[in-house]
Amino acid sequence: MSDDIHYLSLLEVSERIRRRQLTSEEVTLWLLERIRRLDPLLHAYLLVLPDAALAEARAADRDIAAGRWHGPLHGVPLGIKDLLWMQGVPTTAGMPLLRDFRPAEDATVVRRLRRAGAVLIGKLNMSEGAIYEHHALLPRPFNPWSRAHHPGFSSSGSAIATVAGMCYGAIASDSAGSIRLPCAANGVTGIKPTWGRVSRAGVMPLAESLDTVGAIARSVGDAAAILQVISGYDSDDPTSLADPVPEYASVLDRGVGGLAMGVDWRLAQQETDVEVWRAFQGAVDSFRRLGVEVRDVTLPDFDAITTAITPLLVMELVAAHEKYFPEHADQYGPGLRGMLEGARYGALEVVRSYQAKDRFSGQLRAAIAGCDFIVLPALSQVMPTWEEFEALALHRGRLSRRLLHLTMPFNVAGVPTLSLPAGWTASGLPIGVQLATQRLGESLLCRAGVAFQQATDAHLRRPTLRS
């Protein structure tokens, strides 16, 4: 096998396995060895499952040899964020408190991946309770582009493992930016689908009205292949959407000529670093060259809704932890414990949050009604260093203002977003942009993202890693 098999696209390695040019077992062994060498440096995984993964790989090879191919994920190693249940496998949600919790069943997403023949190679690192700090008793994940810089919020392990070639894609979740921020920090692609498009049954909650399960991969086509499998109604999750799931692959090569893209130039430039602004303008120009009409739009107040949603988010967080907190408060890290201890919002404040959520959602729909999709930076500044992040974490308002004000509003509205690598700083750090559109517009976003990645190369860069 070639030395860069770990950096084949998901779809390419899938096709080689389907044609039996490679076996799933060979590919899985290759990645397990790469994880053994590199993960002690990166800490993308909380738990690697070599025996189970190899058993799944061998089963995939037998099925494919017998002519039973289950689709593009069949035999392909993927990572699972550690807040999704896997039967009999420790599932911690980044909380040492839960290190002995072994679910009796799979999350619906995991069950769908198994049915598609995916090889589930391990459980991925994440921040405690999917909030912003990693618990001190668990290994700190490192950004493969710069160990000094933070790797993003709760789906950090999913992004690190993907960009480092330790899986071909990963399941992630996003309640305020936890797919888009790790994608921007690590130079990978991510889809946060419409709220309810993917079942949350068997997924440990953060804030249920904002939580969304999605996919991280190295390209839009790869992420769309994962989304295809995990999407759809689930009777175990009554909030999941019954709308039919389209064939995402069928639209990927249609191009974007004639589409209209909205840009709120004031919001995009607000407090934005020079290098981020330059990369954002370059992304807009790339779409323009592809035949997209660029239209000015005025989006509703992102800062105001990021503040207004706080009582709802915090009190839903309290509900998610009522089984463990405050009884086991001493086992919580300071960040999450502080949020739970400081939760003093009353019913009226939560009601006002819900009302603000509804108003903002309607305002956003109206603002983007005159275009097919919109584009914004994922972060107005590059991801901070660990030292800067820890200083910000002492002041949660400043942390939200610095990192979440361009991402959380799309969770509030429940609309889909697509994260794309768009450039690099002079020091070699990734810069990301995000596309967003109306509810259930994932096909359109994937179509636009594929066209963008066919015309650009930011998503093709790989970190230099040595064990």
Q: In degrees, to the nearest 5, what angle opens at C-alpha 151 toward C-alphas 89 and 172?
A: 40
In whole angstroms, how far apart are CA 397 and each of 303, 307, 330, 354?
11, 8, 24, 20
pLDDT of residue 318: 98
Query: Quick one: average pLDDT of 322-330?
Result: 97
Instruction: Measure the CA–CA gap between 372 and 449, rounded to whole angstroms.
Output: 13
Active site residue 427: no
pLDDT of residue 221: 98
Active site residue 240: no
- Beta carbons of 223 and 168 less than 8 angstroms apart: no
Q: What is the pLDDT of residues 393-430, one digit of tens each?
A: 888 788 888 899 999 999 999 999 999 999 999 999 99
pLDDT of residue 195: 98
Q: What is the pLDDT of residues 13-24, one digit of tens each?
A: 999 999 999 999
Instruction: Measure the CA–CA gap between 80 and 60, rounded to whole angstroms.
Output: 18
Residue 306 inside a domain? The answer is no
pLDDT of residue 398: 82
Residue 158 inside a domain? The answer is yes
Q: What is the pLDDT of residues 150-187, one digit of tens each?
A: 999 899 999 999 999 999 999 999 999 999 999 999 99
By the 10 Å C-beta count (0-12 exposed, 13-18 middle, 19+ buried), 201 is classed as buried
How many Cα atoms sit within 13 Å of 81 on the Cβ side?
A: 34
Residue 351 inside a domain? The answer is no
Residue 205 inside a domain? The answer is yes
pLDDT of residue 399: 82
Q: What is the pLDDT of residues 355-405, one digit of tens each?
A: 999 999 999 999 999 999 999 999 999 999 999 998 888 887 888 888 999
Instruction: Report the first-to-last Cα separation within the chain, whole angstroms.
Output: 20
Helix boundaries (H) for 191-346? 220-230, 265-269, 274-289, 302-308, 310-320, 334-341
Per DSSP, 25 falls in state: H
Instruction: Measure the CA–CA gap between 119 and 407, rounded to whole angstroms.
Output: 31
Which residue's entry shows tokens 């009796």?
Answer: 104
Residue 315 inside a domain? The answer is no
Name the active-site residue from 14, 24, 175, 178: 178
* Closest to 71 (Cα-Cα) out of 14, 25, 154: 14
* Closest to 410 (Cα-Cα) out of 270, 201, 212, 126: 212
Residue 318 inside a domain? The answer is no
Residue 41 inside a domain? The answer is yes
Q: Taking 80 as the threshold, does the pLDDT of residue 44 lie above it?
A: yes
Q: Taking 60 as the threshold, does the pLDDT of residue 460 lie above it?
A: yes
Residue 337 inside a domain? The answer is no
Q: What is the pLDDT of residues 102-126, one digit of tens each?
A: 999 999 999 999 999 999 999 999 9
CATH number at residue 283: 3.90.1300.10
pLDDT of residue 1: 57
How many domains is the chain partitioned into structurally? 1
pLDDT of residue 449: 98
DSSP structure string for 370-432: TSSEEEEES-SSPPPBHHHHHHHHTSHHHHHHHHTTTTHHHHHHT--EEEEEEEE-TTS-EEE
Instruction: Measure the CA–CA gap between 8 and 283, rounded to whole angstroms.
Output: 25
pLDDT of residue 2: 61
Domain of 69?
Answer: 5-300+359-460
Name the active-site residue from 14, 81, 199, 419: 81
Neighbours of 281 (CB within 10 A): 16
Name the active-site residue from 146, 154, 158, 199: 154
Q: Are strands 293-296 and 417-424 parallel, antiparallel or unpaired?
A: unpaired
Active site residue 154: yes
How many Cα atoms sit within 13 Å of 14 on the Cβ side?
A: 23
Q: Are strands 373-377 and 260-263 parallel, antiparallel or unpaired?
A: parallel
Q: In degrees, to the nearest 5, what angle opens at C-alpha 175 toward C-alphas 223 and 113?
A: 35
By the 10 Å C-beta count (0-12 exposed, 13-18 middle, 19+ buried), 279 is classed as buried
CA atoms 431, 223, 205, 39: torsion sign: negative
